[in-house]
Amino acid sequence: MAEKTSNTEKNFLIQGSILAIAGVITRVIGAVYRIPLVNILGDTGMGYYGVAFQIYSIALTLTSYSLPLAVSKLVSARLAKKEYKNANRIFRGALTFAIVVAGIVAMIVFFGADFIATNIMAMSFSSIALRVLAPCILIVALLGVLRGFFQGNDTMIPTAVSQVIEQIINAVVSIVGAYTLIRVGANLARSTGEGAYEYAYAAAGGTLGTVIGALAGLAFLIFLFILFRRGFRRKMRHDRDTHAESYGQVYKVLLATIAPILLSATVYNLCGVLDNALFGQIMSMQGFAESEYAPLLGILSGKYDVLVNVPLAFSSALAASLMPNIVSVVQTGTKKEVYRQIDTFNRFDMVISIPCAVGLIVLAKPILDLLFYTENNSLGAVLLEIGAISVIFYNLSTVSNAVLQGMDDMMTPVVSAAIAMGIHVVVLVILMVVFHGGIYAVVVSKIVFAASASLLNAWALHRKTGYVQEMRRTFAIPAIAAAIMGVITVGVYFFLSLFIPTRLATVIAILIAVVVYAVAIVLLGGISEEEMLGFPRGATLVRICKKLHLLKG
C-alpha cells in the first residue's frame, strides 16, 4: 500500500508538473505577446480590451470553466471502478450540456454587447471587442469537455499541448489583428470625430486571436480524441458492470457537480467584473471622465493581471492534476492517504508561489520596464508591489477548492467565495468612497478577497476532516529561502545596473534569483530527495544536487 501511495504521488507530481509547465509556458507567451499588444493598443485600448475580457470571463465561468474539473472528477470516479460505459455517458452528456448552454450564452453576449458595455460597465466602446469574443464562449466550452475527459483518464498531456498551441496562435493573430484594425479604427475616428474608435477597434483586433487560438486547440483535441476513441471503445466492450447510468442520471449528476464548481468560479470571476464596474461607476460619480479612468483599468488588466496570473496558472494546473488523484483516494484509500496528497500538493504549490510573490515585489519596476518598455510603468510597479502577496492566498484557495470538491464537498468553496466576495465589495467601496483610494483600492480589495477565501476554506477543511496544515516545510522554509533570494536579487540588480543596461541587468538578476532560491530551498530541507525524484527529470536533478553537495549521499 505504501508503494502504491508513493507511485500515486509520483504520478501526480509528474502529471501536475507537465500541466503546470504548459500553464507557465502559456502565461509566458501571454506576457510576451502582451508587450507589442500593449504598445499597439496603449493604456486606453487595453482598458477596453480588459473590460471586454472581464465580461467574457464571466460568460466562460457560466458555461465552461467548471467543465474540465467536473468531467475529470466524474470520469475518474467511474474509471476507478472500471465503469467505462458510464464514463463515456458522462462525456456525451457533458458535450450536450456544453453545446446547449454555451450556445445560448454566446448569443446573449453577442446581441447584448452594447447594453452590457454601456449600461453595466460604463465603457461603451468595449462592446466591439466583446462581440468578437462571443463565439469563443461555445468553442471554449467544447474544449473544456475534451480536456476534462483526458484529465479524467489521468493524462494531462493533451490539455498541456492544446494550451500551448492555443496560446501560440492567439499571440500571433492578436498582434496582427490589433495592428490591422487600429488602422480601420483610426480612419473611422477621423471621419466621425470620435477618437475612441481607434482604440476600440484595436482592442477588437486583439481579441480575435483568442477566438482563432481556441479553434486551433479544439481541432487538435478532436484529432487526439479520434485516435484515443478506438482503445477506449475496446475497454467499453470488456466492461462487465451491470449498472448502466441513464442519461437522466448523467445530467443530474453533471448538474450536481457543475453547479457548485460553477458558482464558486463565478464568484471568483465576478470579483473582477465588480471591480471594473464599481471602479468605473464610482470614478464617474466622483467627476472623472471615461478617458481618465480607462487607462488605469488598462494598467491593471494589461500589466498587473498579466504578471500575477503567471504563478496562478501553476496552481490551477496542479489543481487539475490533483482532482483525479483525490477522487481515486477517496474512493479506494484512507484519510491518511488523503492527508498525504494534500501535504504534497501544498508544499509543491508554496515552493513555487512564495518566491514568485517575492520576486514580483522586489523586481516590480524592472520587470515591467523589461516587458513594457514604451510605457511609464511607475503606477503599474506600485500596484504590483502592493498586490503580489495575493498570489500566495489565491494559490492556497485553489488548493483547498480542489481538495474539497474532490472529496464531494461541493458547496463549501461556494460559501467561502461568496463570503469573501461580500467582504471584498465592502472593502472596495469604503476605500474608494471614503478614502478616495482609486485604482489602489482595487488591488487591496483583491488581496482581502484571496486571503478571506483561503482562510475560510482552510477552516472548513479542518472542521470536515481534522486536517492540520504542516507549517515548517510548507511555509517557513520557502519564505526564508525566498527572503534570501529577494535580498541577493535586489543587490545584484542594482550593482549590475551601474555598468550594463537595466533590461539586461533585470534578466541576469532573474536568472540568479532562480539559482539562489533553488540552492536555498534544498539546503534548508524544503525539498527532500524523494520528492525531487518525483519531478520530471528528477533523477538528473538529484545527481546534480549531490555533486554540488546540496544533498547528502
Over 50: is that where the pLDDT of 211 sits? yes
pLDDT of residue 17: 65
Q: What average pLDDT does the segment 75-102 reach? A: 87
Sole residue written with cell 442520471: 249
User: Dihedral (C-alpha) 372, 377, 379, 380: value to the nearest 10 degrees?
Assistant: 30
In DSSP notation, 49-72 reads HHHHHHHHHHHHIIIIIHHHHHHH
What secondary structure letter does DSSP report for 527? S
Asked if 152 and 80 touch (Cβ cutoff 8 Å), the reply is: no
| Interatomic CA distance for residues 478 and 209, integer angstroms | 38
| Interatomic CA distance for residues 41 and 381, integer angstroms | 20
Mean pLDDT over all residues of the chain? Answer: 83
Over 90: is that where the pLDDT of 193 sits? no
Confidence label for 11 from pLDDT (cuts 50, 70 and 90): low
What are the residue ranges spanned by the domains of the chain? 2-470, 471-553
Cell of 118: 454601456
Q: What average pLDDT does the segment 135-157 reach? A: 89
Q: Which of 16-30, 164-178, 496-510 has the lowest mean pLDDT?
A: 16-30
Alpha-carbon separation of residue 174 from 53, 81, 131, 169, 462 (angstroms): 14, 44, 15, 8, 45
According to the per-residue pLDDT averaged within each range, which of 7-16, 295-304, 424-433 is highest? 424-433
Nearest to 166 by CA among 145, 143, 148: 143
Over 60: is that where the pLDDT of 13 sits? no
Over 60: is that where the pLDDT of 4 sits? no
Identify the residue with better confidence: 483 or 193: 483
Asked if 423 and 343 touch (Cβ cutoff 8 Å), the reply is: no
Over 50: is that where the pLDDT of 181 sits? yes
pLDDT of residue 20: 66
Q: What angle do CA 267, 271, 274 make, to 5 degrees?
A: 125
Cell of 332: 479506494
Confidence label for 2 from pLDDT (cuts 50, 70 and 90): very low
Over 50: is that where the pLDDT of 1 sits? no
* Segment 99-121, tens digit of pLDDT: 998 999 999 989 988 888 877 76
Alpha-carbon separation of residue 139 from 63, 98, 185, 345 (angstroms): 11, 9, 27, 31
Q: What average pLDDT does the segment 449-461 reach? A: 92
* Segment 457-494, tens digit of pLDDT: 999 888 887 888 888 988 999 999 999 999 999 999 99
Cell of 403: 481538495
Over 60: is that where the pLDDT of 444 sits? yes
Q: What average pLDDT does the segment 384-402 reach? A: 89
pLDDT of residue 381: 92
Q: Which of 111-120, 328-337, 394-403, 453-462 has the lowest mean pLDDT?
A: 328-337
pLDDT of residue 430: 95
- First vs last C-alpha separation in the chain: 27
Alpha-carbon separation of residue 433 from 419, 428, 436 (angstroms): 21, 8, 5
Asked if 173 and 213 touch (Cβ cutoff 8 Å), the reply is: yes
According to the per-residue pLDDT averaged within each range, which of 287-301, 305-319, 429-443 is highest? 429-443
Q: What average pLDDT does the segment 217-240 reach? A: 86
Over 90: is that where the pLDDT of 531 sits? no
Count CB atoms within 10 A of the CB of residue 225.
15
